[in-house]
Amino acid sequence: MKDGIKPLLRSYGKQAAISGALEVSSLLGAAGLLPGARGRGAVFTLHHVRPHLPRPFEPNRHLEIAPEFLDLAIRQLKRDGYVFVALDELPALLDGPGNLPPFAAFTLDDGNRNNAEHALPVFERHQVPFTVFVCRGLSERTHGMWWETLAALLGALDRVTFDFGQGEETLELRTPTQKQSAFDAFAAYVHSTDEAEAVAAIGRLAQSHGVDPLGIVERLIMDGDELKRLVENPLASLGAHTLSHRALARLCEAEAAAEMVLSADYVATLTDRRPSTLAYPYGTPGAVSKREARLASELGFKVAVTTQPGTISPEPGMPLTHLPRLSLNGHFQKPRYVSALASGIPFRLKAR
Ligand SMILES: [Zn+2]
């Protein structure tokens, strides 16, 4: 593969464009322009919440915020007049009168242990409910997280040899740019071929270099007992996040349905209550389609969320199984950006 400065420039360029849009939106929002864009409220996505430990190669930096930023984000939303609700309250809330203050619902994907360690104290301090989306295969240690495996593997090596489908090739990994370029190539491979096979191949590659994908899961993800302890807290609830964390839209219908059901079964054994909420893995347009929204609804989920950005403005009677969320991104940890996102203005600007 070409030594790629382009992906990195692209990613820096994208970050500059996003922060620019957020700055403009925060100004417009503060000036009271574009009212109504915020809809009825917003659902926020978080992954890791932990103090940042800088590493030379951090391809998943966007999936990590500091507990202090979570605290500031909640304070900012309070100042902006938001009320905090649990995700499973949304159907009743959206059925109710439309003149209520805007709501904010917090969600955390994958079941990272730092959610209990670092996010829970912040949520408790502010009495903010939250939903953790549990991926059964991670919690039961039967599946790995290829993005974390690759961060560890590519961070440690100077070069790597892999067959992306057109014969073996060697990628140089001496600089952060080269490492990021390789990470992007692996991610594209996962998202464009049979995902289970791609993830298994990355797992074998990692093992051959002494990186254990399931060891990483063990270190990062809460097991069943930890999740049970977490939901003893009345602020915490659990939702489903599939069995294997694959893009459901690329599976056959029976497999996609089984992924949803098996993760809901698991949550039900932990909480004695079947979850009514679901988060689609990745949540991008390529990973979740109208079919999954229909399936989720048929399987009894009341609320299912994507990672496609937007505020919540449902039509009456619309199923709530393809809702947008706002990601609190590790690259943009400023309280005014939270206001800007929740204002819905960035998405209005984009649509024009
Ligand atoms: Zn996930």
Query: What's the CA-to-centroid distance between 98 and ligand 1, angstroms?
Result: 31
Say if residue 187 is in the same domain as residue 333. Answer: no
Query: Which tens digits make up the pLDDT trace of 290-322?
Result: 999 999 999 999 999 999 988 998 777 778 999
Say if residue 231 is in the same domain as residue 118. Answer: yes
Query: Which tens digits make up the pLDDT trace of 134-171?
Result: 999 999 999 999 999 999 999 999 999 999 999 999 99
Say if residue 180 is in the same domain as residue 298. Answer: no
273: nearest Cα among 297, 237, 247: 237
In a domain, 25, yes or no: no
In a domain, 271, yes or no: yes
Number of domains in the chain: 2
Domain that holds residue 225: 40-143+221-313+323-351
**Distance separating alpha carbons of residues 297 and 299, to the nearest angstrom:** 5
Query: What's the CA-to-centroid distance between 302 and ligand 1, angstroms?
Result: 19
Say if residue 305 is in the same domain as residue 292. Answer: yes
In a domain, 19, yes or no: no
> Could you give phi then psi for residue 80, rounded to 5 degrees?
-80, 0
CB neighbour list of residue 306: distance below 8 Å, 6 or more residues apart:
280, 283, 284, 288, 322, 323, 324, 325
Query: What's the CA-to-centroid distance between 279 and ligand 1, angstroms?
Result: 8
Query: What's the CA-to-centroid distance between 108 and ligand 1, angstroms?
Result: 9
- Continuous segment of H or E residues that includes residue 294: helix 290-298
Contact indicator for 130, 235 with CB cutoff of 8 Å: yes
Instruction: Using a pLDDT cut of 90, give the percent of the chain over it.
Output: 75
Query: What's the CA-to-centroid distance between 115 and ligand 1, angstroms?
Result: 14
For the chain, where are the E strands, in sequence order? 41-46, 48-49, 64-65, 83-84, 103-109, 130-134, 159-163, 168-172, 236-240, 277-279, 303-305, 320-323, 326-327
Q: What is the value of pTM for the model shown?
A: 0.91
Say if residue 54 is in the same domain as residue 133. Answer: yes
How does DSSP classify residue 116?
I
**Distance separating alpha carbons of residues 98 and 185, to the nearest angstrom:** 46
Question: What pLDDT sits at residue 7?
Answer: 44
**Distance separating alpha carbons of residues 223 and 250, to the nearest angstrom:** 27
Query: What's the CA-to-centroid distance between 110 and ligand 1, angstroms?
Result: 5
The region of weakest confidence among 6-15, 109-118, 162-171 is 6-15
Say if residue 104 is in the same domain as residue 156. Answer: no
Residue whose tokens read 């073996």: 168
Query: What's the CA-to-centroid distance between 242 and ligand 1, angstroms?
Result: 9
The region of weakest confidence among 58-72, 98-112, 325-339 is 325-339
Looking at every residue in the chain, the average pLDDT score rounds to 90
Say if residue 188 is in the same domain as residue 225. Answer: no
Express the helix, strand and coil content of the chain in percent, nearest 5 each.
50, 15, 35
Contact indicator for 105, 305 with CB cutoff of 8 Å: no
Say if residue 235 is in the same domain as residue 134. Answer: yes
Say if residue 184 is in the same domain as residue 234. Answer: no
**Distance separating alpha carbons of residues 2 and 178, to the nearest angstrom:** 9
Question: What pLDDT sits at residue 30?
Answer: 63
